[in-house]
Amino acid sequence: MKNKILVFFLSLLLIIGLLPLRAIADSAPTTLEAPTNLRAELKEDSDGMPYFELTLDVPKSVKDLNEKLLEDSNYFEGKIFEEVEVHFEYKYADYDWNEGLSHYWNTSMYLADLLEDGHYEYYPFDSSTKFEDIDIKSEVYSFRARFFVLWGYEGGWMNERIYSDYSNIVTIGNPAYWSTASDWATPELKKAGEEGLIPEILKGADMTKPITREEFAEVALLMYQKASGITGTPAAPNPFTDTQNPQILKAYQLGIVKGTSATTFAPKTLINREQVAAMLVRTIKLIAPNADYSTAGAPTFTDQADISGWALNDCLYIAKLGIIKGSDGKFMPRAVTQAQAAAGYANTSREQALAMSVRTVERINEVK
């Protein structure tokens, strides 16, 4: 019996010795590690055309496999492998992955080429022909990537594929900053978006609607944060019983806003133009405390007598800077009759408030 076992093991060792060394060391892959750290950056080429530069990290196991396949497509006994490819997938607007208008029928490239070039260039489908014309800021482009390798058995078809899992999804651009806006406001709303002056509370909103105290507090606070680089801290303890919004509490702590009473803020109450002017001036004074705040040279308005005494200087100063421009010689500070109040007279719209924010930031250096 012992002799039979010995003969069996000797025979097994002889068979193993006759096999190619690579068959012992390696077996054909059944999985691939996924790409990691996918990144996207909007750039322009030498002709001024916009494109996304996509880069990613390649796991060592995938690099090693590709090197073997580049040296010998028959590296794995009985099978033929193509080199590893990288497939980039795109998504934008409301389209699903790889749907919608595109310049491409194929967004794959060989891994060896990616490693040599260092990146993949994806040109978005857009009617624009210049970098500065493509409206990336009002659209979302998302990308993901995965590895795959094509293989087949010797003497058969190359019709088998091994896919890795997908990489992380990277998104560039922003969802539309508004659902509805007036034509006159669109240029300044785009500027507000580009400058990061639209708070989360207003993104995707109907900008033609009147703005609330809560919303404008966030607009003013964000303007201050962008101009000063100071985030601010919420007031503690919270003096208000009708809001827990930390942005309101930051604005209150900074002195940008005040309550409607010792314990209420009235966040959902609409804000009129003289109240907006007062908040804007408080914000500007925080950014440029030593500036000249005289109202000399400010325009006069036919309804100037309707401006509340506490807000007069603020309204005139803001008008002097051209931040609130008035209409037909009127400032329209507040509703002074029941009919005006019922009609929403002097309410400030969201788009007007954001336009004021843009103008304020543009004039800060002049103020200083």
Q: What's residue 193's pLDDT?
A: 84
Domain map (residue ranges) of the chain? 36-173, 183-367
Mean pLDDT value across residues 74-99: 88
* 10 torsion bin: left (phi>0), alpha (psi -120 to 50), beta (else): alpha
Q: Which residue has the higher pLDDT, 277 or 190?
A: 277
When pLDDT is cut at 50, 70 and 90, the band that residue 49 belongs to is confident
pLDDT given at position 129: 47
Question: How does residue 203 score in pLDDT terms, banded at 50, 70 and 90?
Answer: confident
- Whether 232 has a pLDDT exceeding 80, the answer reads yes
Q: Determine if the peptide bond prior to 237 is cis (ω within 30°).
A: yes
Span 321-339, mean pLDDT?
91
Using CA atoms, how far apart are residues 33 and 166, in angstroms rounded to an integer?
Answer: 9
Give the global pTM: 0.56
C-alpha–C-alpha distance, residues 177 and 139, integer Å: 9
Contact 338, 262 (CB under 8 A): no
Give the distance, in angstroms, between the CA of residue 221 and the centroid of all CA atoms in the same chain.
20
Task: For the chain, give the number of residues.
Answer: 368
